[in-house]
Amino acid sequence: MIDAAGTPQTIRLSDYRPPAWRVPQVALDFNLGAESTRVTARLTVERNGKRSEPLVLDGQGLTLVSVKRDGVALDVQPVGETLTIDIPGDSAVIETVVDIAPATNTRLMGLYASGGMLCTQCEAEGFRRITFFPDRPDVLSVYDVKLTADAALYPVLLANGNEVATGQLPDGRHWAQWHDPWPKPSYLFAAVAGNLSPLRDTFVTASGRTVDLAIWVAADDVPRCAHAMAALKTSMRWDEVNYGREYDLDRFNIVAVGDFNFGAMENKGLNIFNSRYILADADTATDADFDAIAAVVAHEYFHNWTGNRITCRDWFQLSLKEGLTVFRDQQFSADQGSAAVRRIDDVRMLRAGQFPEDAGPMAHPIRPDSYIEISNFYTATIYNKGAEVIRMMATLLGPDGFRAGTDLYFDRHDGQAVTTEDFVRSMEDASGVDLAQFRNWYAQAGTPHLDARITHDAAARTAQLHLSQTLAPTPGQPVKPVMQLPLRVALFGGTTGKRLGDERLVSLTEASATIDFDNIDEPPVASLNRGFSAPIIVQSDRSRADLAFLSAHDDDPFARYEALQQLGQATLLDSGDDSDLVAAIGATLNSGLDAAFIAEAVLLPSEAMAGDAMAVVDVDGLHTRREAVRRRIGSDLNAQWWAVYHANNANRYELTPEAKGRRRLRNVALGYLMANDDAEAVATAFKQFETADNMTDRMAALNVLSHSNAPERDAALAAFHARYADNALVLDKWFSVQAMSTRADTPAAVAALMTHPDFSYTNPNRLRALVGAYAANQVRFNAADGSGYRLVADAVLAVDALNPQAAARLVSPLGRWKRFDAARAALMRAELERIVATEGLSKDVFEIASKSLV
């Protein structure tokens, strides 16, 4: 909302009221064209109870042609972004006719053109850019949709639900009628028209129904959809087995789109995907790409129940569907390969994206209290921290209790728009577990800190684990309640290396507590927050020797990984001796553990991660220190790295978990071998680049060369561009690898790439690949002269006029100015002030930039 003075207004959870009018039936008729599309909407509306307000419909960027009430034309016009219609009775049929222009819709919200097709994106508030409607998630409607278009330009016409009729018209146009029997909110509406080809398959549900599956792409891309189709079928079966959820339509369609603000969208029966999460083969996609495709396909499919059949009452409840569904896709991914490595990946993503958010000016609970622009709250907090909150709940309830809770939730709320409180109450009612204190996780921002100290009484054969928790103030929440922390802990004998008794699940509900252990006959070393059972920061009295010990003996994979990471972090923050870290990494290489796990464990923490542990980020000193430690690890363990590199050289490409783990470890070894930029390593990296039979190895070689000053670097970059110049997704990698280079000339290189013919401000993938990646390059984005800040701020302002959502996502790195030295902070703040002072700024960018200045 924007007031009469043009100032964006705050929307508050406390102001929620149920809709004054229900819309049980919606009939949409599209006469499609890229330059102009006419949309006729017939809404069957019913007064909600005794509410007396008129019908208020939302609309943005619409040219109103006509309005009728029960067939009678009305002389009404929109005021601002709403159309108000008086209805004397308790029900009516409202018909509106509007014109829209998809070809000029650079916001990529509503109906827009992309690569010769027309497609939609309606979450969160894009439907109002298609037609006038009460565009809120608690208005659930059954949709009938007719699409009419030029048959030559748009031979395929798709919408939600099941296709019920088609026909040809004498003027070369054709039409298709779609019906979705399941009531849904407007944000789940979808339609696509284009010259597309399908990869088809079928799935037989647990009850014996056959579902027709299709992934729609350009004809040349059909062979690259096989992995996504396999992931879809696997996820459909997985949801039946693990949650008892069966698919409920006759068809399931996916469309891949090149221009898309998000990763994918779960529209009922017609998922629309960013093409990067559908298209893959060995030559163009890395192992990480294949894994991401499987995870995102599963995520969007799982939304059919956690998001579609049961949706959100209002947008403050966004984590109800997103946190729960991320947790479900994490479970799914853990079942497809190494559960330990998947958990490491999930936590790394949380720490990189969400922990800084919790510590910054945009900190918010997973159920926010207010917002200016809801698109700004599709955040790591809502998604990733939201998933951790669900995981903690599952831990406290146990597998049987959690499954009983989700079963009750589905049974109780199917077909409803509900709240996070409804979900928590289902968990309580099914399990009998009191979650009153646990609810603080929904209402409080910030990352709890846990202090852990252990004492040992050798004579009494006992040990005590002393725990205390704190939660720092966040914007708007100066005083915090005590959180409930589910902590998995265990003790290991410092002499024998054996676990002393069973793992314990401790539910910490007080500010401090002491946990007693009996029969402890040797000095204990504590394994804390095993499996990352709570999304917290742990500080303990464990020494470097304790961490090295745990990296060798802990039987919880995450805790073992974490011990080595903490030892690495301590090394980066301390200029002292790093021989114990080198020895621990060497021991891990020889441990015989899973290759994928070893590859993750032996990596040093990133500069960003280490910087988060500093009171003021020492940009240059931290980079210098980390590079020195990397060089020592590379040189001291040189023979081991070469052995690992050669031992994991596969004869042929396979996409099994084992093969992916070997590739990952081999490429980590190559990175350490390149740390000293010696001639043999450079030659090996360039040979791997030239001879690789898969993108994982080719990209890994290009990545390590990108940091080098060797001439092979430029040769590899030129060869990569020449080979993939016509593949937009792969070319994104070419831009990104240069933006992430730690070379001193990276700021100038990125500035030059901004003018490259292949760069585009209007494609979100390309924008993220270059500007987004550069903003994540801690040492070069934070150049002392402020050039990185100016470049990103310039990009924000250039993109804001085209696509405010995409622009807003570039602002956050500037919002961390308080974490840096005074000179850099002043330069960052100046760019934020320049952004906020810009006339005509979108509310998307205004909200983040203005809050970042506080």
The answer to whether the beta carbons of residues 610 and 626 sit under 8 Å apart is yes
The answer to whether the beta carbons of residues 251 and 176 sit under 8 Å apart is no
CA distance 536 to 490: 17
> Which residues share a beta bridge with 92?
45
The CATH fold of domain 1-195: Immunoglobulin-like (2.60.40)
* pLDDT tens-digit readout, 243-273: 999 999 999 999 999 999 999 999 999 999 9
* pLDDT reported for residue 1: 55
* pLDDT tens-digit readout, 556-603: 999 999 999 999 999 999 988 899 999 999 999 999 999 999 999 999
* pLDDT reported for residue 693: 98
Q: Which of 300, 279, 299, 298 is nearest to 290 (CA)?
A: 279
Does residue 831 have a pLDDT over 90?
yes
CA angle 490, 493, 496 (to 5 degrees): 140
CA distance 413 to 428: 15
CA distance 555 to 179: 53
CA distance 453 to 457: 14
The answer to whether the beta carbons of residues 192 and 112 sit under 8 Å apart is no
Residue 309 sits at φ, ψ, to 5 deg, of -60, -40
Residue 469 corresponds to which tokens in the numbers above?
């928790």
Please compute the mean of the pLDDT values over residues 327-331 and round it to a whole number.
99
pLDDT band of 528, cuts 50, 70, 90: very high
Does residue 698 have a pLDDT over 80?
yes
Please compute the mean of the pLDDT values over residues 750-773 and round it to a whole number.
98
Q: Which of 605, 567, 609 is nearest to 586 (CA)?
A: 567
Does residue 651 have a pLDDT over 90?
no
In eight-state DSSP terms, residue 222 is G
Average pLDDT along the chain = 98
Does residue 5 have a pLDDT over 60?
no
CA distance 146 to 129: 18
CA distance 473 to 479: 6
Are domains 1-195 and 312-442 of this chain identical in fold? no
CA distance 816 to 829: 9
The answer to whether the beta carbons of residues 131 and 41 sit under 8 Å apart is yes
Residue-wise over 227-265: b if at least 16 C-beta within 10 A, else e?
Answer: bbbebbbbbbebbeeebebebbbebbbbbbbbbbbbebb
Q: Among 4-13, 316-325, 482-491, whose mean pLDDT is lowest?
A: 4-13
Q: CATH number of the domain at 312-442, out of 2.40.40.20, 1.10.390.10, 1.10.10.10, 1.10.3720.10? A: 1.10.390.10
Please spell the DSSP secondary structure of 358-391, one letter per residue: HTSTT---SS-SEES-GGGG-SHIIIIIHHHHHH
Q: What is the CATH number of domain 449-541?
A: 2.60.40.1840
* pLDDT tens-digit readout, 129-170: 999 999 999 999 999 999 999 999 999 999 999 999 999 999
* pLDDT reported for residue 8: 83
The answer to whether the beta carbons of residues 42 and 19 sit under 8 Å apart is no
Q: How far is CA 491 from CA 273, 502, 671, in A?
A: 46, 8, 35
Q: How far is CA 220 from the centre of its chain?
A: 28
Pair type for strands 117-121 and 162-168: unpaired
797 CB burial (10 A radius; 0-12, 13-18, 19+): middle
pLDDT band of 6, cuts 50, 70, 90: low
Please compute the mean of the pLDDT values over residues 652-673 and round it to a whole number.
98
CA distance 117 to 102: 10
Indicate the domain borders of the chain: 1-195, 312-442, 449-541
Does residue 707 have a pLDDT over 60?
yes
Terminal Cα distance for the chain, rounded: 22
Please compute the mean of the pLDDT values over residues 45-71 and round it to a whole number.
98
pLDDT band of 438, cuts 50, 70, 90: very high
Residue 22 corresponds to which tokens in the numbers above?
């229900």
CB atoms within 10 A of CB 602: 25
600 catalytic, yes or no? no
319 Cβ contact list (under 8 Å, min separation 6): 366, 367, 382, 383, 386, 389, 420, 442
pTM: 0.98
583 CB burial (10 A radius; 0-12, 13-18, 19+): middle
Q: Which of 754, 853, 838 is nearest to 797 (CA)?
A: 838
* pLDDT reported for residue 575: 83
Q: How far is CA 835 from CA 59, 62, 94, 771, 814, in A?
A: 27, 28, 42, 16, 11
CB atoms within 10 A of CB 818: 13
Q: Which of 585, 608, 457, 604 is nearest to 523 (CA)?
A: 457
pLDDT band of 4, cuts 50, 70, 90: very low
Please compute the mean of the pLDDT values over residues 716-722 and round it to a whole number.
99
The H or E element that residue 349 is part of is: helix 339-349
* pLDDT tens-digit readout, 116-129: 999 999 999 999 99
Q: Which of 123, 300, 322, 522 is an active site residue? A: 300
